[in-house]
Chain A
Amino acid sequence: MKLTQAFAMAWKSMSQSKMRSFLTMLGIIIGVAAVIVLVSLVGGFSADLSSSFESMGTTNLSVMLMGRGGSTVMEPDEMMALKEQHSDLLSLCSPEVSVSATLKHGTASMTATVTGGSEDYHLLNGYTLAQGRAVAYADLSARSKVAVIGSYVAQELFDAGQAVGQTLKINGDSYTVVGVFEELGDSSESSADNVVVIPYTTAQRLGRSARITSYTLSATSTDTVEAAIELLESTLYEKTGNEDYYHVSSVSQMLDTVNELTGTLTLVLVGIAGISLLVGGIGIMNIMLVSVTERTREIGIRKSLGGKRRDILRQFVIEAAVTSAVGGVVGIVLGIIAAYVIGSLLSMTVVISGTAVLIAFSVSVGIGILFGYSPAAKASKLNPIEALHYE
């Protein structure tokens, strides 16, 4: 007997008892759908995280200074000097001073985080200028009251395209808007476009704190990240003699950690969903065993008409495989739909992974074959005479 014939027979016998086939498939459908939903949501979550990390730049390094009494561990000038001295490892450097402030222009007002940085700040954070200029080196020593604003701030406080050259009041002090950043996120309140950047020297005054506790630097390439971290750590250790006073981390390190975490999370969740697939497989085995018993006479007839063991075996295995494959396809479709529905309800990003779909499909076919085999083997070994007389 040809394989195509065997498929036709399997399809026929499945489609003739639709309700039973559906119930047989249910375990597989639920298992596969659960796997697809989980993988898609976790995938979306980790893609979101990765992209937000990557927008910071994978060569970025962050230095946190915990302080030592009241004095700053490392002054901006020292940090700049270190960067100049090791230009083979470090390319950009900006202190970071964040102050929450009220912004006003005319009658419009809003609250935003104002960040003080160096002339490298916008480069380190992936901003490009739509209009005007960024904070310049000269602004730092002059403590100029200049501000570069994000597209959300520009849109909230100023007429379109009219921001540059206007006065912006930050906690009552007047600043001149010298530049507007290109939209980086989606120009919403929670995006990277809700930003005001001023020289860090100016920000130190605004925040009434002289201490700089945070720096962002950039390694010259992804290959020098490790060496740059070592350089910073050894320099800081020499200065403080205590590892607790500073912390150096890199975006790529964090990214690795996050990827590792989401990877583990995916495995655990898929493992749990996989149990449902196993239960589905046992369901298939159960129904196949019942079906072999019910069809004992049919098997006897088939054997009397020349059906060999392998013909009967193949028929039942293919039936199980086709059942679970159809269940797998239905589960994949339902899973994708459910992932998008849940994703939009919880406003989560959904990433459908082709690999996951393929694996889910192959696993369900595999389960059908695995759990269909022993009932099929039982059927194929039936004695034709006894089978023919089975009532």
Chain B
Amino acid sequence: MQENRHHALIEFSHISKIYEMGESEVYAVNNVSFQIQKGEFVAIVGQSGSGKSTCMNIIGALDVPTLGEYFLDGQEISGFDDDELADIRGKMLGFVFQQYNLIAKLDVYENVELPLIYASVPEKQRRERVMQSLERVGLKDRVHHMPNQLSGGQQQRVSIARALAGNPSVILADEPTGALDSNTGKEVLAFFKELHREGNTIVLITHDNGIAAQAPRVLRLADGRLVDDCSGAQFRDRLRTLQMEEAPT
């Protein structure tokens, strides 16, 4: 992607996602606006049902908003159809899911290769990029293992390698530590910090305030509304206040 200094990488402008539930309407996301610049590491935090996954689906071009405009690298994509969105996902976004979401019958190499196949990258380049990203996550020696032959942490690293392989503009991680024990979770988080230092843009979604506080910037959602947009340090301060009101998980 060519760099454009005149716009943010991600821009939400009065985004709402409304679900019709019979008679009533549910605002999963309610009039949210923010910008994320290239190279930022942002955590989106909030309690269960606050609208984090809905936000992430919109950012990740998996879903389109009901109201508002979403600019990804200056392009308004809320009117895109299925295939155009798929194209955007393949070229600009790298997903890391809570459940890893590796394809069980493909080996490590093939899993990482998949987004490159969909992006029609030629075979020779694919090989290079797959090996590079596997090396980057330290799993170069597990190339032909099947997902079920790896530990949870290793599987999550494979899914990170898969997200990295396509050289995406944004890495989107939905509860990436959710399925891991706390030590492995810390390792994965440290790895995201490293990727951030290398210049990657990272959006991390978590319900865990402690994890969110480690990100340089935190967006907090409550009931579909953006209630906080602050630095990690500021968020830690606010946490103390919050802790008095509600026990964090």
> Residues of A with Cβ closer than 8 Å to B?
1-2, 5, 12-13, 16, 297-298, 300-311, 384-385, 388
Contact = CB atoms under 8 A, between A and B. Distances in A.
Contacts of B117: 1, 5
B47 to A, nearest CB: 19
Contacts of A297: 101
A306 B83 contact: no
Contact of A305 (B82, B95, B105, B120): B95
Contacts of B82: 308-309
B60 A302 contact: no
Contacts of B63: 385
A60 to B, nearest CB: 67
B90 interface: yes
Nearest to A304: B95
Contacts, number: 63
Contacts of B95: 304-305
A298 B100 CA distance: 12
B86 A16 contact: no
Contacts of A1: 117-118, 120
B120 A307 contact: no
A308 B87 contact: yes
B233 interface: no
Contact of B89 (A13, A305, A310, A311): A305
A388 B60 CA distance: 13
Contacts of A303: 62, 86, 89
A309 B105 contact: no
Given A301-B101, A308-B118, 16 more contacts: A1-B120, A297-B101, A302-B103, A302-B118, A303-B89, A304-B62, A305-B115, A305-B162, A306-B90, A307-B90, A307-B118, A308-B86, A308-B87, A309-B82, A309-B83, A309-B86
Interface residues of B, number: 26
20 contacts: A1-B117, A2-B120, A12-B105, A16-B105, A302-B103, A302-B114, A304-B62, A304-B89, A304-B95, A305-B90, A305-B118, A305-B162, A306-B89, A306-B119, A307-B90, A308-B82, A309-B82, A310-B83, A311-B118, A385-B62
Contacts of A13: 105
Interface of B: 57, 60, 62-63, 82-83, 86-87, 89-91, 95, 97, 101-103, 105-106, 114-115, 117-120, 162, 166
Contacts of B105: 12-13, 16
A388 B62 CA distance: 10
A388 B114 contact: no
Contacts of A310: 83
A306 B57 CA distance: 14
